[in-house]
Amino acid sequence: MAVRSQLQTVGTRNFRHHMGAAVLVLVALLAVIQGAAGSRSSFTARSLLQDGSCSESRPCPDSSNCCSQYNFCGTGDLYCGTGCKNGPCTGTNPPGGTGWASFFTKSVFEGWFPNRLQNFYTYEAFTAAAAAYPTFGTSGSVDDQKREIAAFFGNVQQESGGLQYIEEIDKSGDYCDETKTQYPCAPGKAYYGRGPIQLSYNYNYGECGQDLGLNLLANPDQVAQDGTVAFKTALWFWMKRNCHGAIIGNPPSFAGTIRIINGAVECGHGTDQRVENRVSAYTRFCSTLGVQPGTDLRC
């Protein structure tokens, strides 16, 4: 509809008039921004209508588009350049560090886990724990780093119910393997799953505690009492049992991380919903970060 005819429209067509005028104003505004930036990228009303559909934790509907620093979806320097939040970004990220810290921000973390236990599983607890593992999320290419963050938290999603649980729901087993005499079970203590990756069994508590300087054999409840300790145990398992190596390998193997974490239960017997849950979370997180997940997904 022409602008002149819009201005002459009355009655039931007023709404269409206002919408058309709004689009024209936005087009003019972006044209000014485009000129100021000296960009050769073209803007259309079609690209404008995508604004507001993305954020740090929500990718653009079209995976070939970038989410700009102003939450617009599109292509070109003004979308994929400086401040780009996710998608195939080409510019520099906002200040925040190197490695995972340059793209895995607090807003991304909170967007991935909106229903988390907010007084326990905090971004600050994660960052404090990750400082103890300097090669986690910092090894290889940026794509490798993004896949590792997505893989770690994809498994965390399944293990902790989206960071809603600190301890295993079914506590009927004590998870005491008496053949592991190096890490004897303490009387009256149970080594069921605790933390983001549900650290389990006396030998894992014993070895992990030894490396962290904590007596987790005598007091496994420490994992459930401090968010930073909980994340440290999860990262300890991830690095010590080499989930790290599986996901940054060539090719990257998310399936390998599942085998390490719970392969004896979930792998090797056809479709398992728990595996599907992990893969769904991992691929969704990869999409948010603008990285391909690889093809070795299911164990």
Please identify every residue annotated as catalytic.
159
Residue (of 196, 200, 203) closest to 229 by Cα position = 196
Helix 254-266 and helix 273-289, axial crossing angle in degrees, nearest 10: 160
d(CA 247, CA 296): 10
> Do the beta carbons of residue 37 and residue 47 sit within 8 Å?
no
Q: How far apart are CA 159 and CA 167, in angstroms?
A: 10
Cβ–Cβ contacts within 10 Å for residue 26, how many? 15
> Helices (H), strands (E): how many in the chain?
12, 2
Q: Look-up: residue for tokens 């236990």?
A: 117
